[in-house]
Amino acid sequence: MYFRGEGTRRLVVGVYVDDLVITGGCSSDIDKFKSQMRGTFQMSDLGLLHYYLELEVNQSERGITLGQKAYTAKILENAGLIGCNPSCIPMEPRLKLSKASTAPGVDPTAYRSIVGSLRYLVNTRPDLACSVGYVSRFMEKPTTEHLAAVKKVLRYVAGTLDYGCVYTREKEAQLVGFSDSDHAGDIDTRKSTTGVLFFHGKNIITWQSQKQKVVALSSCEAEYIACTAAACQGVWLTRLLSELKGKPEGAVRIHIDSQLAIQLSKNPVFHDRSKHIDTRYHYIRECIEEDRVNVASVGPAEQLADILTKPLPRERFCELRDKLGLVKIK
Amino acid sequence: MDFDEVFAPVARLESVRLLLAHAANEGWPVHHMDVKSAFLNGELQEEVYVEQPPGFVLKEHEGKVLRLVKALYGLRQAPRA
């Protein structure tokens, strides 16, 4: 990303190999930049952004939408699931799969290809992050059980083809994060899953659902590891946003639903239950001390990152999907 | 051959989403441009030689090779040249 100018004359350019995305407050500055670029390189001017790296972008007075309908249809076609019976959720709650499944094996290449294409779809679909992350754990030696879980995801996708993110105008938008974790959800390793989510105002920016790298001995520790992941992401986003705006951003707030993890993040006292936690996970303390991050408590019902840590029952899943701001794009 | 660094400088999609959200917030339009044959624009810093392509061999210099000035598709250095 490159920047120039200030205030309403701010010009921002994002570069992806040979694709340039240009935005700014002054349209004559944009035109000037474009003609400078044309003078230096052979460029095609594609006008307003509407298609970028398989992302369909729509700009209107009401805001910007981001979807992958055509790409999704292509995935379903490749998987031979066009016209299948849609499902309301991407994964059954309480579904537990193991790497050591004794069911008959399936073609690993086909499995990896479908899961790989679903992973790219997660770029506009936070509702899929958890289920796609889960089926990705079985790439090495997939069986019919694992493939059945992938098909469930695909059947959910088939019913939600035109869902995507929407970005609307909002005054005084702040970066807000959520971090959550399950505990020992992976039955092969007993590792937990981190869920981290960031909004800019009401607009959802980033999400991650990731198996933790170490075994957490308690749910508090798992939550603590998750909130450190959130702190890393939050610090990076704050830096990027202040570059975009051309002025410094304040501390980013992260919502956590574990009181113990909050205490642990603020209190530099070590006791028997926390003394084993690896130094790297105490990064959150440093961030809080330096006032780059602050943590706030949130009730379990309002913990939006819940959707990234485990498969949820239909009602809760749809409630959170709405709260993330995921909508059907017209 | 020393490949040096061969990564390509690319934007993460997370940054693109933040850029779009910020543009939506400010009510800014987002434009799109594309470089034609981006790989052919890069100036090479290393010495890279190619054989003369069939049909384009210079008379009386048949045994010689050509030195590349700009990057070509398929070159390991091309993505960041």
Residues A152 and A179 in one domain: no
> What is the structure's pLDDT at A278?
83
Which long-range contacts does A327-330 make (Cβ < 8 Å, 24+ apart)?
Answer: A327/A65, A327/A163, A327/A164, A327/A165, A327/A166, A328/A160, A328/A162, A328/A163, A329/A56, A329/A58, A329/A65, A329/A67, A329/A69, A329/A162, A329/A163, A329/A164, A329/A166, A330/A162
The reply to whether A231 falls in a domain is yes
Cα distances (Å, whole numbers) of residue A99 to A96, A105, A192, A268, B10: 10, 11, 16, 39, 34
Q: Which of A2-16, A92-106, A162-176, A200-214 has the lowest mean pLDDT?
A: A2-16
pTM assigned to the model = 0.85
Kindly give the pairing relationship between strand B65-67 and strand B49-51. antiparallel
Residues A92 and A141 in one domain: yes
The reply to whether A325 falls in a domain is no
Instruction: State the average pLDDT over residues A230-253.
Output: 94
C-alpha count within 13 angstroms, C-beta hemisphere, residue A257:
16
For residue A2, the cross-strand partners are A13
DSSP state of B70: B
Q: Which of A2-16, A259-273, A312-326 has the lowest mean pLDDT?
A: A259-273
The reply to whether A220 falls in a domain is yes
Residues A127 and A150 in one domain: yes
The reply to whether A55 falls in a domain is no
Mean pLDDT, rounded, of chain A: 93
Residues A213 and A267 in one domain: yes
- Res. A285: pLDDT tops 60: yes
Using a CB-CB cut-off of 8 Å, the residues of chain B touching A244 are 18-19, 22
A325 Rama sector, left if φ>0, alpha if ψ -120 to 50, beta otherwise:
left
Cα separation of B4 and A265, whole Å? 42
The reply to whether A81 falls in a domain is yes
Residues A194 and A297 in one domain: yes
The reply to whether A73 falls in a domain is yes
Domains of chain A: total: 3
Instruction: State the average pLDDT over residues A303-320.
Output: 97
The reply to whether A210 falls in a domain is yes
Q: Which domain range does residue A93 map to?
A: 69-159
For the ranges A11-20, A129-138, B35-44, the one whose mean pLDDT is highest: A129-138
Residues A177 and A90 in one domain: no
Of the residues A124, A159, A194, which one is the last residue of a structural domain?
Answer: A159
> What is the structure's pLDDT at B78?
59
Residues A19 and A87 in one domain: no
> What is the structure's pLDDT at B9?
47
Burial of A27 (0-12, 13-18, 19+ CB in 10 A): exposed
Residues A268 and A185 in one domain: yes
Q: Which CATH number belongs to the domain containing residue A301 in this structure?
A: 3.30.420.10
Which ipTM did the prediction report? 0.92
Residues A148 and A194 in one domain: no
Residues A127 and A192 in one domain: no
Using a CB-CB cut-off of 8 Å, the residues of chain B touching A12 are 19, 22-23
Separation in Å, CA of B1 to nearest CA in chain A: 24
- CB-based contact A23 B8, cutoff 8 Å: no
Instruction: State the average pLDDT over residues B32-56.
Output: 78
Instruction: State the average pLDDT over residues B62-80.
Output: 73
Which pLDDT tens digit goes with each residue over A187-222? 999 999 999 999 999 999 999 999 999 999 999 999
For residue A193, the cross-strand partners are A211
Residues A272 and A303 in one domain: yes
Residues A9 and A122 in one domain: no
Q: Which chain A residue lies closest to B8 (C-alpha atoms)?
A: A17
- CB-based contact A21 B79, cutoff 8 Å: no
When computed from its CA atoms, the radius of gyration of chain B, rounded to whole angstroms, is 20
The reply to whether A203 falls in a domain is yes
